Structure 1
């Protein structure tokens, strides 16, 4: 067992390359999907929750108010393309391809290569039910940015109950 596995702190994986957060402020590989929040290009107050399922590439894209994306009709919309592009910047193309189970992608692949491989399979529009939990996680991450810097533990981040002293 390595030293970081014995500690109470999680190992931080640095991004593959720096990325700008204005277009895609939240991206994650979780729950068997590439998923995240993508800003609207036309309305500053609107965001889209987009996801692509691993293996099947079934996709979903809707606003934070659960209205379907107008561009995701039978094919990846611009929000999904931006999500893949930012995921490649954040995690690297190899890791994203491995997670999404994209075959025949070389090591130095880029976002257009991944998108091309996924769209060649003609993915179907998937279920948008994951939008609410993804958006909720995004809002929770934003709340941490508003906290004052401190070294004191955060109550909601304490996963283990306090141990009692044995007399």
Structure 2
């Protein structure tokens, strides 16, 4: 294991962390801390068929927001747009303020949230990759209940077995 990876990155399984608090999924159906970003999908307030793929890069705090058909968010400037604000709020509910702040490298005061510690402006993010991850998660929700193996998940080690 090299100095840039943590122990869980060297294992074949990852511990699932329960949410800090339950959250409603209507506004932000998908949020994750992955690929060096806080990233997710945020529903449009004006068009039911439109969603925004929003992300904040860890440490650089580069902001990214655009629609599912690659149109830039009109509200994104040097400061987080309303989609990024909703993403951060839901991430704080899902993971807790401390964990989100630590992942992004944000200093937060005792009564502050993550948004107050961000210090960068817009940047690009592979929106297609984030949206694709969201769609893959949705596909698992649509599967009928079954105890049969899921072929595309066959690479996961058996329960209780940990590689590495």
Structure 1 match to 2:138:
142
- Structure 2: 5+ residue stretches without partners: 1-11, 158-164
1:126 counterpart = 2:123: yes
Shift of residue 11 of structure 1? Answer: 3.1
Distance 2:29 2:75 in 1: 20
Alignment-derived partner of residue 160 in structure 2 = none
**Contact 1:50–1:79 (CA<8 Å) still a contact in 2?**
yes
Scaled by the length of structure 1, the TM-score of the pair is: 0.82
Length, aligned pairs only? 147
SS of the aligned residue for 1:29 comes to strand
| CA displacement 1:102-144 (0-9 Å, x = unmatched) | 12444xx55xx211121xx2x121113x211110010011111
1:155 correspondence with 2:159:
no
Q: Who is 2:41 aligned against? A: 37
How big is the alpha-carbon RMSD for the aligned residues of Structure 1 and Structure 2? Answer: 1.9
2:73 counterpart SS class = coil
Structure 1 residue 10 displacement after superposition:
4.8
TM-score (norm 2): 0.83
Check conservation: 1:105, 1:114, Cα contact below 8 A: no
What SS does the aligned partner of 2:55 have? strand
Q: The residue matched to 2:114 in structure 1 has which SS? A: helix
Paired residue for 1:72?
76
Runs of 5+ unmatched residues, structure 1: 1-7, 162-167
> Radius of gyration: which is bigger?
1
